[in-house]
Amino acid sequence: MKLTKRIYKGCCIFLIFVVAIEIYLRYYWGFCDTVLTEENERYEYIAQPNQERFRFRKHIRYNEFSMRSRPVEKTDGHRVLVFGDSVINGGVLTDQDSLATMIIENTLNKYNSWGGVIRILNISYGSWGPDNCFAFMQEYGDFDAGLIILIISSHDAYDTMTFEKVIDILPSYPSKQYSFACYELWDRYLLPRFFHKRQESKEPIIKGNVFNPGFKSFHDYVKEKNIPFFIYLHPTLSELIAGKYEIQGEEIVRFCSDHHILLLQGLEHEDVLDFRDKIHLNERGQRRLAEILLPEIEKSLSVN
């Protein structure tokens, strides 16, 4: 009888411990509340629309068009489209209000002398290239934008769409939530680390062997529509340390020069302290990027 009571007591304590951990992981760290992805026949994949997430102590929002921005409103006065990949998207490690696009939007509307609400729409997702971005615009249009910006890195020169399946295959592209936070912690983080299980790449592998057609598509579109346009070439950490772009980056520089596209080069502005890994920006880096882009956006607003 005493042994039975001990077992019962032990089971109760263990159950209480598991429930406490489950609650802690869910409500403090945002487990079981990650950003969900969906397939798309035109641009491979994108965040599911209308998401409000709290993950790793960060707030993440996607609007009705799967933009990492507030909803698009009919009352918007000026719209700027900012296209890119995980660099401008920020991922789940960047709070919504710390994004460069949100910083610019809040700054411009605080000292708005142009009239109407100014919107900086963040159209991006992990490992998107210029062709993904342009395919999105083909589907939804340009939202009557007064300026279009493309944020890219050297690897985007050949990062063309392959439509290889990534949803629910690569860990960073889930279509559904885990049912239990404890299991998500174990399956997605602890099991691969402590048992040396081979971890899949967090992003699709770049396999293209032709210069990304999205660059030319954007150039032709904005020229036809007479929409101001510029490209920002964000360096990797290794490029920043070396003080020069890799071969692919130099190809992008030549393309912009040959087609008379305004190109802002991050090598001239960014700092090693702006990075949280080999390519992504931390919150300091997002603020710096906002400071770099802001003058060109203000010029466009003044002209329009």
Kindly give the confidence (pLDDT) of every residue in the chain, 304 residues in length, as a single tens digit, with 9 standing for 90 and above.
566 888 888 888 999 999 999 999 999 999 999 999 999 999 999 999 999 999 999 999 999 999 999 999 998 989 999 999 999 999 999 999 999 999 999 999 998 877 789 999 999 999 999 999 999 999 999 999 999 999 999 999 999 999 999 999 999 999 999 999 999 999 999 988 877 654 444 556 555 679 999 999 999 999 999 999 999 999 999 999 999 999 999 999 999 999 999 999 999 999 999 999 999 999 999 999 999 999 999 998 886 6
pLDDT of amino acid 230:
98
How many alpha carbons lie under 13 Å from residue 133 in its C-beta half-sphere?
35
* Residue whose C-alpha is closest to residue 73's, from 103, 116, 110: 116
Distance in angstroms (rounded) separating the CA atoms of residues 277 and 272? 10
Contact 90, 98 (CB under 8 A): yes
Domains annotated for the chain, with CATH where assigned, are 51-163+209-303 (3.40.50.1110)
Model confidence, pTM: 0.93
In this structure, the dihedral spanned by the alpha carbons of residues 138, 141, 146 and 147, taken in order and rounded to 10 degrees, is -30
pLDDT of amino acid 11:
87
pLDDT of amino acid 67:
98
**Within a 10 A sphere around the Cβ of 14, how many other Cβ atoms?**
10
pLDDT of amino acid 206:
59
Distance in angstroms (rounded) separating the CA atoms of residues 252 and 153? 9
pLDDT of amino acid 200:
46
Using DSSP, state whether 81 is helix, strand or coil: strand
Considering only the C-alpha atoms of the chain, give the largest distance between any 2 of them, rounded to a whole number of Å.
Answer: 86
Distance in angstroms (rounded) separating the CA atoms of residues 214 and 219? 8
pLDDT of amino acid 303:
66
